[in-house]
Amino acid sequence: MSKGNYVIGLRAAEQLIINKNSQIKRIFAEYHSENKRLQAIIKSANEQNITIKPANRNRLSQICGESVHQGIVIEVRRHLISDEAGLRSMIELRLADPSAKPLLLLMLERIQDPHNLGACIRTADAAGVDAIVIGRDNAASVSPITNKVAAGAAEKIPVVMVKNLGKVLAWMGDYGISRIGTSDNAQESLFSIDQTDSLILIMGQEHSGISKMIMNRCDELINIPMHGSVSSLNVSVATGVCLFELVRKRMI
């Protein structure tokens, strides 16, 4: 079982338990815990007939590979899009349906910090993103820490790991999906573009942004106007700003 199939932390566990459609396989929980939140989670899980396996804190760390589990590790079944072929099929079906709303996709290139990845996933879910695409190499992958920060969102939104981001952008362009890249040096502002069709927003690595290779695949480059003393935003914050502005434009 991949470490990405484990969710840790009380907040993430509460969200999964509340959402009765979550694909929870089983729960590993610290036994004899006096933590009221953990006790409430276990009670709710028992009411839903979810299998609970008692374990000590060392065993929990062994299961998920992390020591910040807060006394609970949830193993989930992932039935979401798992590869590039599945992503392509989903997109083809959506584009072929004249009644379907335009696609909103997110690509994350070389995000290094699993906390940033988790925050981006949580924000993307809140914005109604249809799928997130990340590269397999030189980037953080979905992990227990990512799942904890995402607070249950990683189990609901497809996160697709691919070998070649440039190749994915190429065939998305063939399908007529607008490829919107972000860059501090872009001439066009996020707030001035008129984009309500199917699109993929591309966010780049912390500090350095998207690579030149990915930039060359974009149909349009945008920036977030900065009016204060700082020159840039954290990638997860910038992702939220961009996504919700794009969602706002669709609602006008």
Q: What residue type is assigned to position 50 of the chain? A: I
- Encoded tokens for 132: 């997130």
Confidence of residue 3 (pLDDT cuts 50, 70, 90): low
Q: What is the pLDDT of residues 151-178, one digit of tens each?
A: 878 878 899 999 999 999 999 999 999 9
**Is the pLDDT at 21 greater than 60, yes or no?**
no
**Interatomic CA distance for residues 89 and 24, integer angstroms:** 26
What is the percentage of the chain residues whose pLDDT exceeds 70?
96
Confidence of residue 32 (pLDDT cuts 50, 70, 90): confident
pLDDT confidence of residue 199: 98
**Interatomic CA distance for residues 119 and 173, integer angstroms:** 27
pLDDT confidence of residue 80: 59
pLDDT confidence of residue 12: 86
Tell me the pLDDT of the chain averaged across its residues: 91
Mean pLDDT for 211-229 is 96
Q: Where are the domains of the chain?
A: 3-76, 84-251
pLDDT confidence of residue 219: 97
pLDDT confidence of residue 232: 87
Q: What residue type is assigned to position 23 of the chain? A: Q
**Is the pLDDT at 1 greater than 60, yes or no?**
no
**Is the pLDDT at 9 greater than 70, yes or no?**
yes
**Interatomic CA distance for residues 181 and 222, integer angstroms:** 6
Please give, one letter per residue, the 3-state secondary structure of 81-145: CCCHHHHHHHHHHHHHCCCCCCCEEEEECCCCCHHHHHHHHHHHHHHCCCEEEEECCCCCCCCHH
Q: What is the pLDDT of residues 46-94, one digit of tens each?
A: 999 999 999 999 999 999 888 789 999 999 876 556 689 999 999 998 9
| Range with lowest mean pLDDT among 11-25, 27-41, 178-192 | 11-25
Which CATH number, 3.20.20.140, 3.30.1330.30, 3.40.50.720, 3.50.50.60, labels domain 3-76?
Answer: 3.30.1330.30
Mean pLDDT for 138-149 is 88
Mean pLDDT for 199-223 is 96
Any bridge partners for residue 76, and if so which? 24
Per-residue b or e along 133-159, where b marks 16 or more CB atoms closer than 10 Å to that residue's CB: bbbeeebbbbbbbbbbbbbbbbbbbbb
Fold classification of 84-251 (topology level): Alpha/beta knot (3.40.1280)
Give 230's contacts (C-beta < 8 A, 6+ positions apart). Answer: none
